[in-house]
Amino acid sequence: MTRKAPGRRRGRKPTGSRGTTTLDSDTARRILASPLRQEILQAFAQEPSLTVRELGARLGKSRGALYYHVRELLTAGVLVEAERVLVGRRYESHYSLAAERLAVAADASSDAARDSTLKLVWSTLRQAGREFESALESGRLEEHEGLEVGQRMRAWLTDRDLERVQTHLRRIHEICARAAARERGTLYSFTSLVVPLEPDSE
């Protein structure tokens, strides 16, 4: 027997546009610094709704190992409990992303804010490094001859230039979000970081 219960939204109300959740608290940035929680969000990017049981099957993790992390993502306002469904004698919660796109507000207004911002950025970059190392050692990079795996550029940008760059990054995100849901082709990882610099920085 399966029956739906009224949906409930939990967690901190996100800020930003309808399609974007902006994380602007130390707690949210700390919560997102976990590589496993970033993996969980990637799974939700491929499915509009998942239970912890379904999430565990996708990630190869036990439900017990995931409940805590899902609760933390609810607290951060990144996930919401979309509905509860009665399965047999128990209700099972279905979770969804709070918004289509996730943005993180960098903050250096206090030591705690600075530390949580840096922790999140370094965690993301380390995860990208591990994925690159895995692809390199497995030979997957050699199988994709001509693939431009990454580049670091510095440029003087006007406000108009920067807006064009941001528009292209949003477009890349839209392409990846649509492709993630169909699970065809080759799985890729994409990481971007845009940083304003001092003129004499190296």
Residue 107 Ramachandran class (φ > 0 left, ψ -120 to 50 alpha, else beta):
beta
Q: List own/partner pairs for 168-174 with CB under 8 A and 24 or more apart.
A: 169/194, 170/101, 173/101
pLDDT for 201 equals 55
14: confidence class by pLDDT, cuts 50, 70, 90:
very low
Helix, strand, coil percent values for the chain (each to nearest 5): 50, 15, 35
Give the mean pLDDT of the chain.
82
Determine the average pLDDT of the residues in 58-73: 92
Provide the whole-model pTM.
Answer: 0.68
Residue pLDDT, tens place only, 141-168: 888 777 787 788 899 999 999 999 989 9
pLDDT for 55 equals 94
pLDDT for 202 equals 57
Break the chain into its structural domains and give their ranges. Answer: 2-102
Between 3.90.650.10, 1.10.580.10, 3.40.50.1000, 1.10.10.10, what CATH number should domain 2-102 receive?
Answer: 1.10.10.10
pLDDT for 7 equals 41
What whole-number distance in Å separates Cα of residue 168 and Cα of residue 165? 5
Question: Residue type at 99?
Answer: A
Report whether pLDDT(1) > 80.
no
